[in-house]
C-alpha cells in the first residue's frame, strides 16, 4: 500500500457523513494533484434501491445545476459507468451532439475539468456507485499523470465504497457477501482491473509468493476453479466492487 493510500485509508470517517467524506476527498485531491474528487452512490441496493449518497469537491452550484437540468440522463460518464465495470477515461467517450456539448460547456464553466477517470462500482442487488477524479490540464499533462495514479484511484474507490456501504448499513441490507479478508478483496479487485501479479505484489508491498497465498485462499473460500473464476464469483456476489 502506498503512503498516499495509507493516509486516505487512515482518515476514512468512522460514519458515512457527507461533510466528513467531502473533507477526505479534498485531502485526496491535494495528495494526487487533481482538481476534483467525487464519490457518489446512485443506488445503495437491496431494500434501499434508489437511495443515493455522495460527496464531492465540485462547487455546490454545479451539483445543483446538474440536478435541476437532469444532466444525469445524458452524461456520457454516467451512461458508461452504469453499463460497464472497467474504469472510464472521459477522453474515450463520445461528446458529440448539441445537448452534450452544452452540458460540457457548462461543466467547464464550473471548473469540473476537461480530463477525468471514473471507476464504476457495482454491488449486489443493484448497488451502483462511481468514484471520480478530474483535472483541468493539457492532454500531455494528463497522459503523464494518469499512469502514476490510476492504480491508487482503483484501490481508493474500493476502500471508500466499502466504508460507505458498511457505515450506512447498506451492505447488510443488500445481503451477505463472501467472507473474504480485506487483503483478499484488494488482490481480486486489482486482478479484475487487469494488473499483473508482479504489479499487484509491488503495489501492496508483499512478495509474489505471499500474493499467491492470498489468491489461493480467496479461491478456496469462493469455491472457484481458478483465479478468473474467483474474480467472477467475487464480483457476482458483491464480495468485491469494481
pLDDT in tens, 2-29: 789 889 989 998 887 899 999 999 999 9
pTM of the predicted protein model: 0.75
Same domain, yes or no: 94 and 12: yes
The enclosing domain of 107 has a CATH number of: 3.30.450.80
Assess if residue 242 is contained within a domain. Answer: no
CB-side neighbour CA atoms (13 Å) of 103: 20
Which pLDDT does position 174 carry in this prediction?
Answer: 53
- Domain boundary (125, 143, 173) is at 173
Q: Do 115 and 26 share a structural domain? A: yes
Question: Among 34-38, 224-228, 230-234, whose mean pLDDT is lowest?
Answer: 224-228
Taking alpha carbons only, the member of 36, 41, 45, 35 closest to residue 18 is: 41
Instruction: Give me the pLDDT at residue 124, please.
Output: 65
CATH of the domain at 192: 1.10.10.10
Domain of 223 in residue numbering reads as 182-237
Q: Is the pLDDT of residue 93 over 70?
A: yes
Specify the pLDDT at position 111.
95
- 145 is a domain residue: yes
- Domain identity same for 167 and 195: no
Q: Residue 109 domain-assigned?
A: yes
Total domains, the chain: 2
Helices (H), the chain: 3-10, 18-32, 60-69, 76-83, 98-109, 139-168, 170-173, 182-192, 197-204, 208-222, 227-237
pLDDT in tens, 103-117: 999 999 999 999 999
Q: What is the chain's mean pLDDT, rounded?
A: 88
Task: Return the higher-pLDDT residue of 6 and 36.
Answer: 36
Residue-level pLDDT at 225: 65
pLDDT at 172: 60
Q: Give the pLDDT of residue 33.
A: 96
Amino acid at each position: 500500500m502506498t503512503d498516499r493510500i495509507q493516509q486516505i485509508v487512515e482518515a476514512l470517517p468512522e460514519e458515512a457523513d457527507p461533510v466528513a467524506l467531502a473533507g477526505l476527498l479534498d485531502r485526496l485531491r491535494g495528495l494526487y494533484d487533481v482538481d476534483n474528487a467525487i464519490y457518489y452512490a446512485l443506488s445503495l441496493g437491496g431494500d434501499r434501491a434508489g437511495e443515493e449518497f455522495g460527496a464531492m469537491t465540485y462547487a455546490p452550484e454545479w451539483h445543483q445545476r446538474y440536478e435541476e437540468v437532469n444532466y444525469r440522463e445524458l452524461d456520457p460518464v454516467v451512461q458508461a459507468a452504469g453499463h460497464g465495470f472497467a474504469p472510464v477515461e472521459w477522453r474515450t467517450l463520445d461528446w458529440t451532439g448539441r445537448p452534450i456539448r452544452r452540458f460540457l460547456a457548462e461543466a467547464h464553466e464550473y471548473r469540473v475539468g476537461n480530463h477525468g477517470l471514473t471507476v464504476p462500482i457495482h454491488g449486489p442487488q443493484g448497488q451502483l456507485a462511481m468514484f471520480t477524479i478530474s483535472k483541468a490540464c493539457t492532454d500531455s499533462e494528463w497522459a503523464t499523470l494518469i499512469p502514476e495514479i490510476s492504480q491508487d484511484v482503483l484501490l481508493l474507490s474500493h476502500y471508500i465504497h466499502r466504508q460507505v456501504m458498511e457505515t450506512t448499513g447498506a451492505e447488510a441490507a443488500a445481503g451477505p457477501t463472501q467472507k473474504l479478508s480485506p487483503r483478499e478483496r484488494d488482490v481480486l479487485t486489482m486482478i479484475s482491473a487487469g494488473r499483473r501479479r508482479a504489479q499487484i505484489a509491488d503495489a501492496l508491498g508483499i512478495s509474489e509468493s505471499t500474493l499467491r497465498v492470498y489468491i489461493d485462499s480467496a479461491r478456496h473460500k469462493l469455491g472457484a476453479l481458478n483465479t478468473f473464476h474467483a474474480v467472477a464469483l467475487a464480483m457476482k456476489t458483491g464480495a468485491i466492487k469494481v
